[in-house]
Amino acid sequence: MSDFSREEAEASIQNAKDLVIESLAETMDLYGVTRSAGTLYGTMYFEGDMTLDEMRAQLGMSKPSMSTGVKKLQDLNVAKKTFRRGQRKHTYIAERNFFKFFSDFFSDQWKREANLNLEAINKAQMQLNETIEDRSLPEKTWKEAEKVHQILEESKPYYYWLQNLAAMLKSGELIDAVPSSREQK
Amino acid sequence: MSDFSREEAEASIQNAKDLVIESLAETMDLYGVTRSAGTLYGTMYFEGDMTLDEMRAQLGMSKPSMSTGVKKLQDLNVAKKTFRRGQRKHTYIAERNFFKFFSDFFSDQWKREANLNLEAINKAQMQLNETIEDRSLPEKTWKEAEKVHQILEESKPYYYWLQNLAAMLKSGELIDAVPSSREQK
DNA sequence: TAATTGATTAAAAAAATTTTTAACGTATTG
DNA sequence: CAATACGTTAAAAATTTTTTTAATCAATTA
């Protein structure tokens, strides 16, 4: 219909990619990844494996930036080192399976969150018990300790729930339990 | 046993609180909240309703910091304005229900993420179609357009899944589907 | 094994974010 | 209704984070 030239068509393809790269980068912001690492991921998402120099050429940034960016993406398990035959430079490829990313990312994060907080709660409760059991103290003081103890106790079910959710996610159970079709039941 | 003085006991209680406040603040870091707003939340978590001046006294920071911090917490739905009789100053209280926080936070985030990306994908695919349908272009060019189109198509099930998950979380279905007891099945 | 190429680390520069001080506007009370 | 107290906005300062340039380290190849 509109009869593109080859150059126009290629620019149009790049433009289409950029729309999605932008949106992926904005999303990754929410996952604690800087905008530039997010853009790097988006770029890799559409390419095959890439060298640091190819990344730098695409993004117009320095090589150390690419190096640290790739490392961050590797930490997040969304980029992997690959081997390209006859290529001296290292190459990296983006993980395109978002289900895998979601499972890895949130199961780790939630497990860590639950453990961290439960540990702090347990330490705090043990310390509070010393005050609670000391009946020589004024009522106001040990009542306060009891109140704090109680608040902490009431938060535990949440962290247990979070641990269970993380385990369900890790095992794949949660992925399977939710439909991935457009229509919702 | 160890027979505290009142002062020692009160310091010990505060120390116990601080352990948990620290850990809550570190957690909230993961949710995109600055450490100081996280610490503010942790402080409010153990108190009843507080005025900005009370917060400032506890945290040793400026009042505008408290004002913006509270606003951030209100945006996150973890702090609410309250009315204390005979109190001219505004008072605020922390939401202690972490289940509610989790549901609100992630259902909103995931819904937003899915919509944002699906919108970008649809725009990109429409633009790619112009190139794909233009048979006057060299094969290499429209094949590339088709490849990108295909990659985007394959990502859609993930976003539909995420939309469904967000809806399940919003409705309370997900909270109920996971046990909140310590032992895991 | 020397020379060269590529990747990473260190230090400096730049940019962005957070915090504070100061000014302003609004509302409450005497 | 004037005076004062409170909260928020604006601008400046301080801090933290990100990015780059420069230097170093490691590895490949001739």
Read off φ and ψ for residue B183, nearest 5 degrees.
-70, 140
Residues A89-93, mean pLDDT to the nearest whole number: 95
pLDDT, tens digit (0-9, with 9 covering 90-100), for A50-83: 999 999 999 999 999 999 999 999 999 999 999 8
Domain A6-96 has what CATH class?
Answer: mainly alpha
Domain regions of chain B by residue span = 6-96, 99-177
Q: Say how far A48 CA is from D30 C1', in Å.
A: 31
Residue with tokens 């705090």: A124
The complex's ipTM works out to: 0.92
pLDDT confidence of residue A185: 43
Is the minimum CB–CB distance between A178 and chain B shorter than 8 Å? yes
User: Does the beta-carbon distance from A23 to B117 stay under 8 Å?
Assistant: yes
Question: What is the rounded distance in angstroms from the CA atom of residue A69 to the CA atom of residue A78?
Answer: 11
User: Which pair of structure tokens corresponds to residue A69?
Assistant: 């960016």
Q: Is the dihedral of CA B150, B151, B152, B158 positive or negative?
A: positive
Inspect the interface and report whether the beta carbons of B148 and A182 lie closer than 8 Å.
no
* Segment 99-118 of chain B within 8 Å of chain A by CB: 99, 102, 109, 113, 116-117
Q: Which helix (DSSP H) or strand (DSSP E) does residue B51 occupy? A: strand B50-51
Burial class (CB in 10 A: 0-12, 13-18, 19+), B58: middle
Dihedrals phi, psi of A153, to nearest 5 degrees: -60, -40
Orientation angle between helical segments A98-132 and A139-171, nearest 10 degrees: 160
Q: Is B104 exposed, middle or buried (0-12, 13-18, 19+ CB in 10 A)?
A: middle
Contact between B91 and B84 (Cβ < 8 Å) = yes
Residues 8-27 of chain B whose Cβ lies under 8 A from any Cβ of chain A = 9-10, 12-13, 15-17, 19-20, 22-24, 26-27
Does the structure show a pLDDT above 90 at A19? yes
- Blockwise average pLDDT, block size 10, chain B, 185 residues: 81 97 95 94 95 96 96 95 88 96 96 97 97 91 96 98 98 96 68
* A95-135 pLDDT, tens digit each: 999 999 999 999 999 999 999 999 999 999 999 999 999 98
C-alpha–C-alpha distance, residues A59 and A62, integer Å: 9
pLDDT of A22 > 80? The answer is yes
SS3 B81: strand
